[in-house]
Amino acid sequence: MQKKETTFIILILGVLGCPTVGAGQINTYSINDTVTEASGPFTLNVDGDLSNDCTFEIFPLSGSSTAARVVSLWDSYVMDASTFGYPDALNCGDLVTGPYTSGNAVLGTDVGGGGSFTGAGLKFLGLKMDVGSESYRGWVSLEVAASNDTIILHEVGYSTAPNYEITAGQMSDESDAPLCGFIYTVGTQYEIEVAAPTTGNGLPLMAPVFISTFAGDVILAEDSCFAGPCTHLVSNAMGADTIITCIDYLVYGATMCVMDTPTCCVTQAWDEESQSWQIAETASGIAVEPAHDVVLYPVPTSGQLNIRGQFDDLRIFDVFGRLVLTAGRASVVDVSGLTAGDYFVEITSSTGRWTEKIQVVR
């Protein structure tokens, strides 16, 4: 059976929407500040201790010329392999390894065209912060305008462990392959809705990007769904009794620059007795949750949502991930106060936690 194979090599930075949550020995956070001569300097305490680490500023030169500078403070340094005080403009994934300099360093200047950050787009400044006999490495993502009169500061990352190797843009020290979670199917044998896990719900940091469903060699449906959730409608006009659904993910692994892209495939069979789709096997060998016995109805709904089955907790989120209702163990939920649109019901039971999509109509 031939399936659509997708290979992703994607460079995604936090400023483009990647989550900026640190994990393990790496902490990250957003700055999102712009430095100009008019705004004055911006001083950064990278690791939140008692001392500031560096100051970014636009320094006036003769006439209308300017220089974009970084000034190292206390026992902090910037990565600089030059002999002219021009720090290295690192690419995402480059090792923050030194050598380092202190004091004033020029990111970009009108004089002689010096500085490796000038007009280069988003780059990374490597950092080293000494505390006693130990060193902590980090990075700042930033842009310097071609006119050298503006510095745009984006994000910061640093190691919480001394003498820990770090790369520019690194967001996490976790690189374990993620679990697939689950894929589930509802509907009749001929009209099917297939859904896959969203980011969250106890899953690793990831975003589903492509979902496809097959019957034998025939593609029944395929959809892109970057940023999730991944749900699509499948027309099984042939009445095939076995379907295979595959989903590709971007998973935020050891760096935020290059993503892993695992694929999970699930085979489901139509059960005549229960008139439902049941998971038959996992084609990829990745563990998949069993089918759940909690049913939501009616869907769509305009007033109340009924829940049949055993569960421990139920919450409803809007499409932006905001919690809009908490229902606990209630078997009937009043959704008449919600605006019309799509919502996601998070259900927690003894068999796990999963999400169902519903629609509220008026």
pLDDT in tens, 267-278: 888 888 888 888
Tell me the mean pLDDT in the region 120-141: 93
Residue for token pair 């995402």:
92
Sorted by sequence, the CB contacts under 8 Å of residue 6 that are 6+ apart come out as 209, 210, 248, 261, 263
Tell me the mean pLDDT in the region 113-132: 91
Tell me the mean pLDDT in the region 295-318: 85
pLDDT in tens, 67-85: 999 999 999 999 998 877 8
pTM recorded for the entire structure: 0.50
Tell me the mean pLDDT in the region 331-338: 91
Question: What's the pLDDT band for 140 if we cut at 50, 70, 90?
Answer: very high
pLDDT at residue 201 greater than cutoff 50: no
pLDDT at residue 44 greater than cutoff 70: yes
Question: What's the pLDDT band for 21 if we cut at 50, 70, 90?
Answer: very low
Tell me the mean pLDDT in the region 45-63: 92
What's the CA gap between 358 and 344, in Å, rounded?
A: 6
Of residues 179 and 232, more confidence is placed in 232
Instruction: Characterize the bridge pairing of strands 191-196 and 184-187.
Output: antiparallel
Q: What does the pLDDT read at residue 284? A: 37
Lowest mean pLDDT among 275-279, 329-333, 353-357: 353-357
Q: Which domains does the chain have, with CATH numbers?
A: 14-159 (no CATH), 174-290 (2.60.40), 292-362 (2.60.40.10)
pLDDT, mean over the chain: 78
Question: What's the pLDDT band for 289 if we cut at 50, 70, 90?
Answer: very low
Q: What does the pLDDT read at residue 276? A: 84
Q: How many residues does the chain have?
A: 362
Q: What does the pLDDT read at residue 195? A: 78
Residue among 124, 19, 141, 92 at smallest CA distance from 255: 92
Sorted by sequence, the CB contacts under 8 Å of residue 196 that are 6+ apart come out as 181, 182, 183, 208, 211, 228, 229, 230, 231, 245, 247, 264
Of residues 20 and 318, more confidence is placed in 318
pLDDT in tens, 213-227: 888 778 888 887 765
Secondary structure (DSSP) of 72-117: E-TTEEEE--SSSS----BPTT-B----EE-SEEEEEESSTT--SS
Among 175-184, 203-212, 296-305, 317-326, which range has the highest average pLDDT?
Answer: 296-305
Q: What does the pLDDT read at residue 224? A: 76
